[in-house]
Structure 1
Amino acid sequence: MVAAAGALLDSRRYAMTPPDAPLSRRGPLLLILFAALMAGTGNGISIVVFPWLVLQRTGSALDASIVAMAGTLPLLAATLIAGAAVDYLGRRRVSMISDTLSALSVVAVPVLALMFGADVVNVAVLAVLAALGALFDPAGMTARETMLPEAAARAGWSLDRANSYFEAVFNLAYIVGPGIGGLLIATLGGVNTMWVTAATFVLSIAAISVLRLEGAGIPDRSALTGSVWAGILEGLRFVWHNRVLRTLAVVDLVATGLYMPMESVLFPKYFTDRDEPAQLGWVLMALSIGGLVGALGYAVMAKLMKRRTVMLIAVITLGAAMTVIAFLPPLPVILVLCALVGFVYGPIAPIYNYVMQTRAPAHLRGRVVGVMGSLAYAAGPLGLILAGPLADGAGLHVTFLALSLPMLALGVVAVFLPALRDLDTQPAAPDATAGSGIP
């Protein structure tokens, strides 16, 4: 279902094109999906390489937390600014600029090593480069996500289906990325693996450079607030005054803060201590395989279950699985639990996307996505600050429990949040035609 009126008009117009043109109608959507796959793969590789390089040099979970936090702290402000940049500069342009800067931030690792020696790539340098990568990535992700309604309309897809495939591609990237990262670390070394990371961003740039889509080009300035900062405040006010968006933002903020240290610090610490880089890649791949299946199955789930039910199952299952993982069972058990976590959590991002896309008008879509993303990242630094020292001092078992038990409590609290019932109500159609730039 495409809720926006402008997107419906686009769908009807393209439905009248000749029968031999279906591939051309799907072209923009396929390009967006390919770009998301390539950029996501690059980020998936980075998730393995950055902490591995740090832990290989110092063996300290605290140092790994510092680098992980450096890759998280900029996300709060960067995602806010990214949303405004998308609305004010144009979606296609911002996607390409973002991927260019992301490529430069990762290719700097091998370049510095070649110019000044491997010793120069220390914790401080890696923290700075991780921060730069985090600063640029949200803009590309936001730009691609905000192009989905128009691309789905042209392809004749429902918004649920487009979001399902988009998030499935995202999870596929995090299957391919960590797996490639683990294998390349074992063969080429961590520093040289960054060349592959940069190449994935270049492929994403190439795909978006040939994209032609309504609303992807230069925006209509008449629909925008005068200054960028005023525009950001407009997005914040919109989210705050929308009950379901506000509640989803808080739930995601807490869940992200509790979950992120497990993937960014605890698993890397556990497998680095055991000198098992490939196994770390397998665990992250298991999370993404489950997420891929869950995201692909979302379009079917939406017909059988309420969105609220799907979300509650996800949060409660995540807390329960993390609690079992806290006892550090054998690797096959960890892999099964990670696949389960990915599966139940896979549909959550399509639900978030659907709510944002159907509640926000087109000219405000980037800022709403930016606000929601930035709030989701806000708790990440706090979780990482606590998890690193706690893992070094009290051990991984205690740290896992310190994260999993609050996650269980979040699931219980979510059951009693009335705003989540709005996930299954039909929203009023926003004005999707305002602010649509012609590419």
Structure 2
Amino acid sequence: MSTGERGPILLILSAALMAGAGNGISIIAFPWLVLQRNGSALEASVVAMAATLPLLVATLFAGAAVDYLGRRRVSMISDLLSGLSVAAVPVIALTFGVEAVNVAVLATLAALGAFFDPAGMTARETMLPEAAARAGWTLDKANSYYEAVFNLAYIVGPGIGGLLIATLGGVNTMWVTAATFAVSIGLIAALRLAGAGVPDRTELPDRVWAGIVEGLRFVWNLRVLRVLALIDLVVVGLYMPMESVLFPKYFTDRDEPAQLGWVLMALSLGGLVGALGYAVTSRFVNRRATMLAAVLTLGATMTVIAFLPPLPLILAMAAIGGFAYGPIQPIYNYVMQTRAPQHLRGRVVGVMGSLAYAAGPVGLIVAGPLADSAGLRTTFLALSIPMLLLGLVAVFLPTLRDLDEPVTPPD
């Protein structure tokens, strides 16, 4: 297979790496900018929630935008707007002073970035089947590599973010974040791929809202997608406060931004290895068993972390949890790609993503005040124990057996 035939998928993977790295930097930069002002976990939760709440609606519309406007175009527009939202932080600081970068400003910019990001991620993900076929790759391989790159981005991003915050400060770190989105735009601009351009509107409803409803109905009526969406909703709701509030609070109190970056890097490094390993393990372990092991392991590692052990053990648990959960998104991607028709693919990805994020704001609303009042250890346990219970419940869900049923991809 020639390099030229692999060109499109390499461009998509590279763009995903750059945009993901920008988001990885933002994950620790936004909370850090809040926490360095007064150390309030509640205010950090407000900003984290602002970066999460728009995802529910934005991901729904992102899927429709991809199907109606075209995948390549939406990817570039999304990255442009995401880059502008983070570049606004240093621009405001330079224009009005650092004091102007307050919680309200940070929450607004985090919300804008969160609103724009899903469209780019959805656009790149929906181009994978055609890019994989062009490269001669299986869908499992393409999804495994894509999710591995996504995790790699969250190794590079938080690590660089922690170092940049320590050397340049939180405000100037946002310039680097904006630059990563600019590189992603350039990579997608060079992409030439069937199905990535202007879509055929004849198979789409005239009204966008009707198109969104069509995607919702498709996911809800397909039992396996419905159950996966509900499981992901709970997992994201329990996990997101740990990454967005509890870890930043813990390491801010200790004045160790670099250590925060290391923990987030360990999570992503584990996810990277787990996602890459899925291409091999999928030959021997079925998807249902892989998923059950992932949820149970993530709950167990979160429970150990809840006792706030020494940093090496936190890093080990983060890496193990990331490794166990690494194959899950490739499995989700495979199910969506093999069940959804080509013209509906963007909206199905968007619906699944929006449902996954629906519980995030609820978890953040609870986690911030609970951390301030009851302490980090109690809050970690309040998130980890339900995760363990979810894994036990999933063992008895017969629908998950559908994950291993052979399916012919739709046209």
How far apart are residue 225 of structure 1 and its match? 1.1
Q: Deviations over 1:262-309 (max 9, x none)?
A: 000000000000000000000000000000000000110110101000
Q: Report the Cα distance in structure 2 between the residues aligned to 1:253 and 1:32, rounded to whole angstroms.
A: 27
1:240 to 2:220 alignment: yes
**Number of the residue aligned with 1:429:** 409
Q: Give the counterpart of 1:32 among 12, 17, 26.
A: 12
Q: Deviations over 1:211-255 (max 9, x none)?
A: 000000000010111110000000000000101000000000001
Q: Report the Cα distance in structure 1 between the residues aligned to 2:197 and 2:214, rounded to whole angstroms.
A: 22
How far apart are residue 166 of structure 1 and its match? 0.2
**Number of the residue aligned with 1:17:** none
**Number of the residue aligned with 1:124:** 104
SS in structure 1 of the partner of residue 6 of structure 2? helix
**Number of the residue aligned with 1:297:** 277
1:322 to 2:302 alignment: yes
Q: How many residues align?
A: 411
Aligned residues: percent identity?
79
SS in structure 2 of the partner of residue 427 of structure 1? coil
1:269 to 2:249 alignment: yes
Q: Deviations over 1:346-396 (max 9, x none)?
A: 000000000000000110000000000000000000000000000000000
SS in structure 2 of the partner of residue 303 of structure 1? coil
1:407 to 2:387 alignment: yes
* Equivalent residue letter for 1:269: K
How far apart are residue 46 of structure 1 and its match? 0.1
Equivalences for 1:174-323 in 2 at 5 Å? 174-323=154-303
* Equivalent residue letter for 1:280: L
Q: Report the Cα distance in structure 2 between the residues aligned to 1:309 and 1:278, rounded to whole angstroms.
A: 36
Structure 2: unaligned runs, 5 residues or longer: none
Equivalences for 1:49-88 in 2 at 5 Å? 49-88=29-68
**Number of the residue aligned with 1:8:** none
How far apart are residue 259 of structure 1 and its match? 0.5
* Equivalent residue letter for 2:388: L
Q: Give the counterpart of 1:336 among 316, 320, 328.
A: 316
**Number of the residue aligned with 1:115:** 95
* Equivalent residue letter for 1:105: S
* Equivalent residue letter for 2:258: A
How far apart are residue 127 of structure 1 and its match? 0.1
How far apart are residue 37 of structure 1 and its match? 0.1
1:161 to 2:141 alignment: yes
* Equivalent residue letter for 2:92: L
Q: Deviations over 1:41-97 (max 9, x none)?
A: 000000010000000012000000000000000000000000000000000000000
Q: Report the Cα distance in structure 2 between the residues aligned to 1:337 and 1:293, rounded to whole angstroms.
A: 14
Q: Report the Cα distance in structure 1 between the residues aligned to 2:44 and 2:127, rounded to whole angstroms.
A: 35
Q: Report the Cα distance in structure 2 between the residues aligned to 1:293 and 1:251, rounded to whole angstroms.
A: 23
SS in structure 2 of the partner of residue 262 of structure 1? helix
SS in structure 1 of the partner of residue 322 of structure 2? helix
**Number of the residue aligned with 1:173:** 153
Q: Report the Cα distance in structure 2 between the residues aligned to 1:38 and 1:154, rounded to whole angstroms.
A: 22
* Equivalent residue letter for 2:179: A
1:141 to 2:141 alignment: no
Q: Report the Cα distance in structure 2 between the residues aligned to 1:180 and 1:389, rounded to whole angstroms.
A: 29
CA contact (8 A) 2:337 2:409 kept: no
1:373 to 2:353 alignment: yes
Q: Report the Cα distance in structure 2 between the residues aligned to 1:204 and 1:298, rounded to whole angstroms.
A: 26
* Equivalent residue letter for 2:269: I
Q: Report the Cα distance in structure 1 between the residues aligned to 2:39 and 2:114, rounded to whole angstroms.
A: 23
How far apart are residue 428 of structure 1 and its match? 3.6
Q: Report the Cα distance in structure 1 between the residues aligned to 2:377 and 2:171, rounded to whole angstroms.
A: 31
Q: Report the Cα distance in structure 1 between the residues aligned to 2:332 and 2:205, rounded to whole angstroms.
A: 25
* Equivalent residue letter for 2:5: R
* Equivalent residue letter for 2:154: Y
* Equivalent residue letter for 2:173: T
* Equivalent residue letter for 2:193: L
* Equivalent residue letter for 1:223: E
Structure 1: unaligned runs, 5 residues or longer: 1-20, 432-439
**Number of the residue aligned with 1:398:** 378
Q: Report the Cα distance in structure 2 between the residues aligned to 1:130 and 1:317, rounded to whole angstroms.
A: 31
CA contact (8 A) 2:271 2:326 kept: yes
How far apart are residue 429 of structure 1 and its match? 2.8
